[in-house]
Copies of this chain bind each other. A is one copy, B any other.
Amino acid sequence: MNKKRTVHASVKDERLVNMRRDQMIRGAVSLFKEKGFHRTTTREIAQAAGFSIGTLYEYIRSKEDILYLVCDRIYDQVRARLEGMDVEKGTLKSLKLGIAYYFNIMNEMQDEVLVMYQEAKSLSKDALPYVLKKEVEMVGMFETIILKCVENGELVMEEKQIDLLAHNIFVQGQMWGFRRWALKNKYTIDEYIQLQIDLLFSGIEGFQSQLKEGELYEHS
């Protein structure tokens, strides 16, 4: 079910393959960050990885393979870190903790997230689904948390609402990365986390002035 799209390597020694790909991905991420996938050449990647262009092609079949490996790797790293999140508790408190946890990860991996975010679209029709599936899984983690709250009786929400809320949380985490240019001057990551959680939980109505409360009862 969870089959990976494998990338062919001419070299057989699996340990070696992993090592070389590690070097390759590390170099590629930093190059993609700087100049994007299309403006980065395979030679540059090979050089950044510390080996020759010939060697590079012993471990991949095409340039696009590198992009796939990079995206794949980044998702795996994010997922690995998200494993530390408690998905089962089913309390609003644990939801808040989960959000804060996730936002902090996004902050720490903001370069990687940005790269993946901007370059994933360059993946071939072939590779894209594998990457999107990982996103779906990650959104699914928040769905699970929220669902547990519902099951626990903490919340009353329909499926569509749960799903959308999970999406919103997920995107707000990424947003800290891809809108850095607008956000980092105004907020620290901690402020950002706090403010987003407030807005997510209280909603606009949570900020309604008490005086006028009566007037607005017809809101929905």
A residues adjacent to B (C-beta < 8 A): 36, 38, 92-93, 95-96, 118, 121-122, 132, 135-136, 139, 153-157, 160-161, 163-165, 167-168, 171-172, 175, 179, 181-183, 186-187, 191-192, 195-196, 198-209, 211-212, 216, 219-220
Contact = CB atoms under 8 A, between A and B. Distances in A.
Contacts of A171: 171-172, 175, 179
A216 B178 CA distance: 33
Contacts of A192: 164
Contacts of A204: 92, 95, 155, 165, 200-201, 203
B122 A36 contact: yes
A92 B202 contact: no
- Count identical subunits in the complex: 4
Closest 6 CB pairs of A and B: A203-B203, A38-B38, A202-B203, A201-B204, A155-B207, A157-B207
Given A164-B187, A201-B219, A205-B206, 10 more contacts: A92-B205, A153-B209, A154-B212, A156-B208, A160-B186, A161-B198, A171-B175, A198-B220, A202-B205, A203-B206
A181 B211 contact: no
12 contacts: A92-B204, A93-B216, A154-B209, A164-B187, A165-B204, A168-B172, A168-B199, A171-B175, A198-B220, A199-B203, A203-B203, A203-B204
Contacts of A191: 160
Contacts of A95: 204
